[in-house]
Copies of this chain bind each other. A is one copy, B any other.
Amino acid sequence: MTGSIAIVGIGPGDDMLITPQVTAALAEATDVFGYIPYVARIAARDGLTLHASDNREELDRAAQALEAAARGGRVVVVSSGDPGVFAMAAAVFEALEAGPAHWRDLYIQVMPGITAMLAASARAGAPLGHDFCAINLSDNLKPWATIERRLRLAAQADFAMAFYNPRSKARPEGFARTLDVLREECEPDRLVLFARAVTTPDETLQIVTLHDARPEMADMRTMVIVGSSQTRLITRTAGPILYTPRSAS
């Protein structure tokens, strides 16, 4: 008996941003696996077992989900945002590649979601309206030297930059270093968006210049978007709009 596994994105927080495709998969699931706060967003019901696990246990969680599917379950693995952007899809495929051959016979689907940078961008305007990059600033999985080199090249390429996982209690110094590198590569009036807990009741948005950006403006619930050299601010009574024009020199 072989089941299925769907690796799905439940968006940044607001349930109005969950796609009908994901809602339908959750309605038919026998087992949901995920990080504790994401599984907490899934309604309990008869016939559904919720498997919540701690952060930094992604590979174990992925293997358990694959094994539950191999036993015949209709398994859903939930990530916030999009499962393919710094989330569970890559972890499931790492586990699949390292695991027993019969896992490869499973019916596997990835279902996209609204990733945090798109939600943050939408709330602020359109700072990702031209070429951009997405960088995971967590140095759990790569050395700082790799991050620094990538930051410098991205700034030289004049990408707008979206930073995931900018700052944790365990590694507060990484984001301070990031700002130092950017100040070496970019002009001081470069625009920076700090978008915290977007689309949730805790949402806050702050737009400052690179000169005024401070490490403590970000925590692990914050998406940081650094504009390109072309990114502009429209001032309005109702609040500013941050956007990057479609054309660039």
Give Cα A126–Cα B94 distance, bound, in whole angstroms.
11
Does chain B have a CB within 8 A of A66? no
List residues 32-51 of chain A with CB under 8 A from any CB of chain B.
Answer: none
A248 to chain B, nearest CB (A): 5
CB contacts (< 8 Å) of A86 on chain B: these are 129-130, 246
CB contacts (< 8 Å) of A52 on chain B: these are none
Given A97-B232, A112-B119, A132-B133; 10 other pairs, CB 8 A cutoff? A19-B114, A84-B121, A85-B118, A89-B126, A93-B129, A93-B243, A94-B246, A97-B234, A105-B237, A133-B159
Do residues A142 and B18 form an inter-chain contact, with CB atoms below 8 A? no
Choose the segment among A145-153, A176-184, A201-209 that binds chain B (4+ C-beta atoms closer than 8 Å): A145-153
Most buried by B among A58, A90, A158, A237: A90
**Per-position binary interface string of chain A over residues 56-70, scored 1 when its CB falls under 8 Å from any chain B CB and 0 otherwise:** 001000000000000
- CB < 8 Å: which of B93, B149, B248 contacts A126? B93
Do residues A18 and B20 form an inter-chain contact, with CB atoms below 8 A? yes
Does chain B have a CB within 8 A of A17? yes
Do residues A83 and B122 form an inter-chain contact, with CB atoms below 8 A? yes
Does chain B have a CB within 8 A of A131? yes
Given A16-B20, A90-B246, A119-B112, verify A130-B136 contact (CB < 8 Å).
yes
Does chain B have a CB within 8 A of A96? yes
List residues 170-208 of chain A with CB under 8 A from any CB of chain B.
Answer: none
